Amino acid sequence: MSIAANRLTAAQYKQNFSDIHPPFETPDAALVEANRCLFCYDAPCMKSCPTSIDVPKFIKQITTGNIKGSAHTIFSSNIMGAGCSKVCPVEKLCEGACVYNLMHEEAIPIAKLQRYSTEIAMQKQWQLFSRKASTGKKVAVVGAGPAGLSCAHMLSREGVNVTIYEKESKGGGLMTYGIAAYKVTPQFCEDEVNYITGIGGIEIKYEQELGKNISLEELQKNYDAVYLGIGVGLARQLEIPGEDLSGVEDAISFIYNLREKGYPAIPVGDKVAVIGMGMTAIDAATQAKRLGAKEVTMLYRRTENEKPCTQVELDIAKLDGCEIIWLAAPKEIKGNGKAEQLVCSVMELGEPDASGRRSPVDTGKTFILEVDMVIKAAGQMPFEALVSNTKLENKAGKIVVKDKAATSIAGVFAGGDAVNGGKEVVDAVQAGKDGAAAILKFIGG
Amino acid sequence: MADISCNFLGIKSPNPFWLASAPPTDKKYNVIRAYEAGWGGVVWKTLGSQVKNVSSRYSAVNFNGTRVMGFNNIELISDRPLEINLREITETVKEFPDRATIVSLMADNDRESWHELIKKCEDAGAMGFELNFGCPHGMTERGMGAAVGQDPEIAAMVVEWVMEKATIPVITKLTPNVHSPVPTGIACVKAGTNALSLINTIQSVTGIDLDTLVPNPYVAGKSVFGGYCGPAVKPIALKMLTTISQDPVTSKVPISGIGGVSTWRDAIEFMLLGATSVQVCTAAMKHGFRIVEDMNEGLNNWMDEKGYKTIYDFIGKSVEKITHWEDLDINYHHIAKINQDKCIHCGLCYIACEDTSHQSINLDYGKPYNTYTIKKEECVGCNLCQLMCPVTGCITMEEHRVAPDYINWKMWQEEGRPLNDH
């Protein structure tokens, strides 16, 4: 057993990381599905989208051949509509609410249709929004992730000049760095950032990190308002013995490296254990398998009923051949300098906790899993120290906002994962819109 | 097993489904294929003077992803030499003597031409004639086709010429490109035609290419009005058929129904409104001759289910059910009811009623699913919501008579009852 990179041929990597939800191959194929849409009134799909995309309208526009209008409808509500069409857990959002489900018929493939229109718009470089005359106002946005980009785009449309400060060397945030490569490629993320900033009036300054190169005070002084879309970053620690052994890695950095360095460069074990059952855990487990790991075992301390990922995601992991062990919590990682064994506690469900889900209770029994790599995906933590240093009111690092976006400091606004602790891309996009609306009100834009 | 055979003025066919005079009946090759597939008869594509066609010839109207809801053509009568057609008719009749092989005719506008054509066709073995008084393009500009059918006097004159010569049954095909087919129908019956058929195609422009700005079908940068047919014209055909079936003169002769017949259901509807046989073209052009299989089986099963032994047991049964508006019962009232167990919350009933009808549906907001209920006191029973609902049987119209007695609008007015409900 060992950890090794470069396990597969170039063709195998290409195959394993190809688009998991391929697009429609022809306009006719898109039309067949678009024509199935009933064009519901006050549509459940639209109500189930955090950004309230007018789904029936954009689908109707596909059927009439008005693709430009369709893309405009999508982007008007969600400027990351192209990326969201690839990464949204639509089975619990728009498609999950499609009325066809109630007829026990296949839901309209809303994401696929959304991808159809937005992909054409991006390929043809349609700039569907124009910038109003400059108001002379300046806003600083921290973080070029979904919340920051969405906020910046909305502000730019209204004639505000926006400067985004991004700590990484690329924009897109978790879209670029934290999502499985078979959903969105790094190239797509870059194209999407360029498409969004193509409206003009948005400058992104890369490798500028709040608390390091820049301070909130500085930004407040130099700009009319500041928007914080800094996300969450730190992987939650397991706080068990052996966590510092070699071969123990957190899912965020695993996925980050995979997207930044290319597939062959990423070392992966023969026997990999993944702790957690969220979307990130799935992305880490499936990609470890797709990089060539022989066995991948996912561990979750509750049962399938409480799983945070969707069924569709779990099915991807199962189809990839990942083993799933329910009611198992990591207790200790053993090994001589490197991870060799994962000792797990057998759990059972007890009383409901704050989330309403029955909480896991240790039965005292244990079992041992032979491993050479452990990937921790037990959630991400807010930047607590950073946030506390700015004197922003927060709850364990999560920035507290009023009226959807206003922080405890006047002129400073926030949204996205930094506020909600970590939700979907589409939630962050909506938060960015809310932030922009609040800022425009504040600066009188 | 019901008997679905048809006897049209002595012309027998194993079923009442004939192919209409059109490209599918232009030559022996097609007709033999049709007979092998099970068609009861054909009306051979119109014979007359030699003509020359153009390219292209057809265009269509698609609707919500369904192709050929309506179909349009600018073809003329048969452009094959008359001798070839006659020879092939002879061969076809010999090979399939049990089918109704009828020949469509459109001679030049003089007695001699008609007499000569009739003689040749009878010699070839035609079982009956259909006079093409309906072709709406190309031939009309030469004073033929619809130009004849649109003028009852001219039509009657031509029918008289035909009846002088013909020894086999004559059907006169009527054009719909008139305010009513009845005047020409009456004139033709009085002039001696043995039967009528309707409708021919309706003049139309099916659409325009938004890049070239040239309407369809495209012929070297131009287009012309074409003859419209297919499922889209069926309701118009049924209406015109009804007027012919209700008129005391035209109802005396058998009718062959034409216009958008695609299925056994369509065919039965034409027969219920008075057609003895039905003619099909567009559906066959879309799917091929094999569609007749389900038409035969569907008709048979429906007749068995309803207890009809022959087609004559039900032909014309719906004619008397179409009345005049002023005879409708004003005391009849029905109200929509939404079955909440079947409702999928699409809101289509609500928005149709709210925006365009009588604001008779309640919306109780829910996320993501609203609940829709009928405001009984507001519902006028228009059917709109039921028509828009995508779930079969979800919205039903329940009878709530205003009063038990029949009263029509005329009686209502005579009694001086109030007309204003509001």
**How far is C-alpha A234 from the chain's CA centre?**
15
In order of A360, B171, B328, B411, the CA distances from B419 in angstroms are 73, 47, 15, 12
In a domain, B1, yes or no: no
Q: Which of B69, B345, B371 to mutate to test the interface with A (most CBs of A within 10 A)?
A: B345
Task: Please answer whether residues B54 and B226 qualify as being in contact, where contact means their C-beta atoms are separated by less than 8 angstroms.
Answer: no
Q: Do B221 and B298 fall within a single domain?
A: yes
Residue found under tokens 């029949």 = B406
Residue A356 pLDDT exceeds 90: no
Task: Please answer whether residues A185 and A87 qualify as being in contact, where contact means their C-beta atoms are separated by less than 8 angstroms.
Answer: no
Distance separating alpha carbons of residues B229 and B213, to the nearest angstrom = 23
Question: pLDDT tens string for chain B (422 positions)?
Answer: 899 999 999 999 999 999 999 999 999 999 999 999 999 999 999 999 999 999 999 999 999 889 999 999 999 999 999 999 999 999 999 999 999 999 999 999 999 999 999 999 999 999 999 999 988 777 777 888 888 999 999 999 999 999 999 999 999 999 999 999 999 999 999 999 999 999 999 999 999 999 999 999 999 999 999 999 999 999 999 999 999 999 999 999 999 999 999 999 999 999 999 999 999 999 999 999 999 999 999 999 999 999 999 999 999 999 999 999 999 999 999 999 999 999 999 999 999 999 999 999 999 999 999 999 999 999 999 999 999 999 999 999 999 999 999 999 999 999 999 888 77
pLDDT, chain A, mean: 95
A57 touches chain B (CB under 8 A): no
A66 touches chain B (CB under 8 A): no
In a domain, B420, yes or no: no
Which among B264, B296, B321 is the end of a domain? B321
Q: Do B151 and B299 fall within a single domain?
A: yes
Residues of B with a catalytic annotation lie at 135
Could you say which of A32, A34, A38 has the minimum Cβ distance to residue B346? Answer: A38
Distance separating alpha carbons of residues B68 and B230, to the nearest angstrom = 7
Say what the pLDDT of residue A217 is: 96
Summarize the confidence of residues A97-105 as an average pLDDT: 97
* Interface contact flag, A31 B391, Cβ < 8 Å: no
Residue A97 pLDDT exceeds 80: yes
In a domain, B187, yes or no: yes
Is-cis flag, bond preceding B254, omega within 30? no
CATH number at residue B256: 3.20.20.70
A92 touches chain B (CB under 8 A): no
Say what the pLDDT of residue A247 is: 95
Which among B290, B321, B352 is the end of a domain? B321
- Chain A residue numbers with beta carbons less than 8 Å from the beta carbon of B346 are 38, 40-41, 43, 99
Residue A426 pLDDT exceeds 70: yes
Distance separating alpha carbons of residues A390 and A407, to the nearest angstrom = 11
Q: Do B376 and B250 fall within a single domain?
A: no
Could you say which of B65, B369, B390 has the minimum Cβ distance to residue A38? Answer: B390
Listed by number, the residues of chain A in 184-213 with a beta carbon closer than 8 Å to a beta carbon of chain B are none
| Domains and their CATH numbers in chain A | 24-123 (1.10.1060.10), 138-233+382-443 (3.50.50.60), 244-250+259-378 (3.50.50.60)
Summarize the confidence of residues A190-209 as an average pLDDT: 97
Say what the pLDDT of residue A400 is: 97
Could you say which of A42, A97, A100 has the minimum Cβ distance to residue B347? Answer: A42
CATH number at residue B410: 3.30.70.20
* Interface contact flag, B350 A48, Cβ < 8 Å: no
- Chain A residue numbers with beta carbons less than 8 Å from the beta carbon of B67 are none
The secondary structure element, H or E, covering residue B154 is helix B152-165
Residue A110 pLDDT exceeds 70: yes
Residue A445 pLDDT exceeds 60: no
Say what the pLDDT of residue B419 is: 85
In a domain, B421, yes or no: no
* Interface contact flag, B348 A31, Cβ < 8 Å: no
In a domain, B271, yes or no: yes
Q: Do B346 and B292 fall within a single domain?
A: no
B212 touches chain A (CB under 8 A): no
pTM: 0.93
Q: How many residues does chain A have?
A: 445
The one-letter amino acid code at A313 reads E
Tell me which residue range forms the domain holding B254.
6-321
In a domain, B278, yes or no: yes
Residue A424 pLDDT exceeds 70: yes
Structure tokens at A52: 């309230």
Say what the pLDDT of residue B140 is: 79
Q: Do B152 and B73 fall within a single domain?
A: yes
Question: Tens digit of pLDDT for each residue in A5-46?
Answer: 999 999 999 999 999 999 999 999 999 999 999 999 999 999
Distance separating alpha carbons of residues A322 and A313, to the nearest angstrom = 12
Distance separating alpha carbons of residues B104 and B162, to the nearest angstrom = 12
Say what the pLDDT of residue B261 is: 98
In a domain, B419, yes or no: no
ipTM value, please give it. 0.91
Q: Do B144 and B264 fall within a single domain?
A: yes
Distance from CA of B218 to the nearest CA of A (A): 21
Q: Do B351 and B257 fall within a single domain?
A: no
* Interface contact flag, B64 A63, Cβ < 8 Å: yes
- Chain B residue numbers with beta carbons less than 8 Å from the beta carbon of A41 are 346-348, 350-351
Structure tokens at A291: 């990089």
- Chain B residue numbers with beta carbons less than 8 Å from the beta carbon of A103 are 344, 391
B393 touches chain A (CB under 8 A): no
Distance from CA of A104 to the nearest CA of B (A): 10
Distance separating alpha carbons of residues A298 and A304, to the nearest angstrom = 12
B44 Cβ neighbours under 8 A, 6+ residues apart = B21, B25, B26, B31, B78, B85, B89, B101, B102, B103, B104, B126
B347 touches chain A (CB under 8 A): yes
Say what the pLDDT of residue A94 is: 98
Could you say which of B363, B369, B390 has the minimum Cβ distance to residue A44? Answer: B369
* Interface contact flag, A41 B347, Cβ < 8 Å: yes
Distance separating alpha carbons of residues A37 and A108, to the nearest angstrom = 6
Could you say which of A32, A41, A48 has the minimum Cβ distance to residue B368? Answer: A48
User: Phi and psi (nearest 5°) for A225?
Assistant: -160, 160
Q: Do B94 and B111 fall within a single domain?
A: yes
Q: Do B278 and B338 fall within a single domain?
A: no
* Interface contact flag, B368 A35, Cβ < 8 Å: no
Q: Do B356 and B211 fall within a single domain?
A: no
Question: Tens digit of pLDDT for each residue in A361-402?
Answer: 999 999 999 999 999 999 889 999 999 999 999 999 999 999
Say what the pLDDT of residue A2 is: 86
Task: Say which DSSP state B240 is in.
Answer: H
Query: Closest Cα to residue B71, out of B256, B239, B285?
Result: B285
Report the number of distinct structural domains present in chain B: 2
Task: Please answer whether residues A383 and A232 qualify as being in contact, where contact means their C-beta atoms are separated by less than 8 angstroms.
Answer: yes
Which among B271, B301, B321 is the end of a domain? B321
Question: Tens digit of pLDDT for each residue in A58-82?
Answer: 999 999 999 999 999 999 999 999 9
Q: Which of A32, A40, A104 to mutate to test the interface with B (most CBs of B within 10 A)?
A: A40
Q: Do B305 and B404 fall within a single domain?
A: no
CA torsion sign for A6, A7, A8, A13 is negative
In a domain, B354, yes or no: yes
B370 touches chain A (CB under 8 A): yes
A44 touches chain B (CB under 8 A): yes
Residue of B nearest to A45 (CA): B368
* Interface contact flag, B363 A42, Cβ < 8 Å: yes
Q: Do B304 and B219 fall within a single domain?
A: yes
